[in-house]
Structure 1
Amino acid sequence: MTNRFLYLARHGEAVGDGELSPAGQQQARLLGQRLATAPLTAIHHGPLPRAAQTAHLISQFLPHVPLHCSEVVGDYIPPVPDPSALPEIHARFLDGVSADEYAEGARLATAALERYAVPGATDTHELVVTHSFLIAWFVRHALDAPDERWLGLNAANCALTVILYRPHRPPALVSFNDTSHLPRHLRWTGFPPEMNV
């Protein structure tokens, strides 16, 4: 039986929606050190600078692992079948998302699952450096939860989530939001201080 391990990591802390902050760069390097002995065969990343920079910093610790930029692991809104049925807090969060944005997000999210959330022909270990929403989308899929349940799942910067895909078995969530490679002050950057435990 083949095992496909998909490692998912949110980009490091960024300044606004742009470049990595000094803390984000440190987070990425520490994640690279953590993954240096993992049998990774590829690193995929979204096209935005914060994901690309994080992947490049990680790759310094995995010099023979190829990097691939992929639109399907970019930053977008995954499917929400009926936005009008969402709890008020989620409806407010998504206020202003257009029908076109929902449609494009659904297209990309479906393509991401078709590309990465399937068993392989051989044992594989791949890293995807992406954004919080897409990590939540993969976790929701692995747990066979309703589409809109990606809302409310938050990924810490450079936290590690691992999902195992095997033929004829449901996906297995191996770990979620593992920040054990980060010192306390670099965990949950951008979130309220009480989450930094």
Structure 2
Amino acid sequence: MATRYLYLARHGHADAFGNLTDTGREQARAMGKRLAHLPIGAVWHSPLPRAADTAREIDLFLGGITSVAEAAELIDHVPYVPEREEIPPSWRPFFDGYSAQDAAAGQEIARSLTARFAHAPESENDVHELLITHAYPIAWLIRDALDAPPVRWLGLSSANAALTVVEYRPGAPPSIGMFNDMSHLRPELRWTGFPQAPRP
């Protein structure tokens, strides 16, 4: 039974201008070393520079034979704007100002994302793909894998260069092998992209 192994990673740590910092580059290289032994056939990245640069850093460890390309569906976006009664009070200020057009555009990107990547392979061979994207698209793909209500993308957060793995097989629900795993990162490189707080 052919399986799609979807490796999801948030880009490395970036500065206020959206460019990778030295920390982000080190995180990306650590991710590349971790994935180097896998038969990854394609690396897809968001159009944003911090994701594209992360993909290039990772590819240094993949032997230079892997396809690396941009995927518009991986752009940083809000995949679903909840109805007001669905929004937890702490999130309400975040959604102020989102128009119906913004919400519809985000939902269309989210539909395209799952249609392109969130399914079993159509061939008889296993597929291994790495997606370098952002926290919200990862949250949406996890929510989709769990068949959870659309609002449940809220509260699923990913650290910079953390690894999430989802497996898709024909006739079976998706399997989440790991989520937000940072074991390839030195302790001082973990938890970037989260608010400052004591962490395990």
Cross-structure match for 2:88: 87
CA contact (8 A) 1:188 1:195 kept: no
Q: Deviation at 1:82? A: 1.8
- Decide which moves more: 183-192 or 107-116: 183-192
Q: Deviation at 1:195? A: 4.6
Cross-structure match for 2:31: 31
Cross-structure match for 2:3: 3
CA contact (8 A) 2:86 2:151 kept: no
- Which letter does structure 2 place at the counterpart of 1:26? E
- Which letter does structure 2 place at the counterpart of 1:19? N
Residue 143 (str. 1) matches residue 124 (str. 2): no
Q: Take 1:18 and 1:24, find their aligned partners in 2: how far apart are those partners?
A: 11
Q: Take 1:193 and 1:79, find their aligned partners in 2: how far apart are those partners?
A: 26
Encode CA deviations 1:132-176: one digit per residue, 9 max, x unaligned: 000000000111110010011110000000000000000011100
Q: Deviation at 1:84? A: 4.4
Name the % identity: 47
Residue 73 (str. 1) matches residue 74 (str. 2): yes
Instruction: Report SS of the residue matched to 1:177.
Output: strand
What is the number of equivalent residue pairs in this alignment? 197
Q: Deviation at 1:191? A: 2.3
Q: Take 1:117 and 1:17, find their aligned partners in 2: how far apart are those partners?
A: 31
Residue segments in structure 1 that go unaligned for 5+ positions in a row: none
TM-score w.r.t. length of structure 2: 0.94
Q: Which runs of 4+ in 1 moved over 3 A?
A: none
Instruction: Report SS of the residue matched to 2:43.
Output: strand
CA contact (8 A) 1:73 1:112 kept: yes
Instruction: Report SS of the residue matched to 1:190.
Output: coil
Q: Evaluate the alpha carbon distance shift between residue 116 and residue 195 of structure 1 in structure 2; reply closer, same or farther with a 3 A threshold.
A: farther
Instruction: Report SS of the residue matched to 1:7.
Output: strand
CA contact (8 A) 2:13 2:160 kept: yes
CA contact (8 A) 2:45 2:51 kept: yes
TM-score w.r.t. length of structure 1: 0.96
Encode CA deviations 1:92-133: one digit per residue, 9 max, x unaligned: 222222222211110011001000001002211000000000
CA contact (8 A) 1:45 1:52 kept: yes
- Aligned-residue Cα RMSD (Å) equals 1.2
Q: Take 1:66 and 1:149, find their aligned partners in 2: how far apart are those partners?
A: 32
Instruction: Report SS of the residue matched to 2:132.
Output: strand
Residue 14 (str. 1) matches residue 14 (str. 2): yes
Cross-structure match for 1:105: 106
- Which letter does structure 2 place at the counterpart of 1:25? R
- Which letter does structure 2 place at the counterpart of 1:102? A
CA contact (8 A) 1:13 1:190 kept: yes
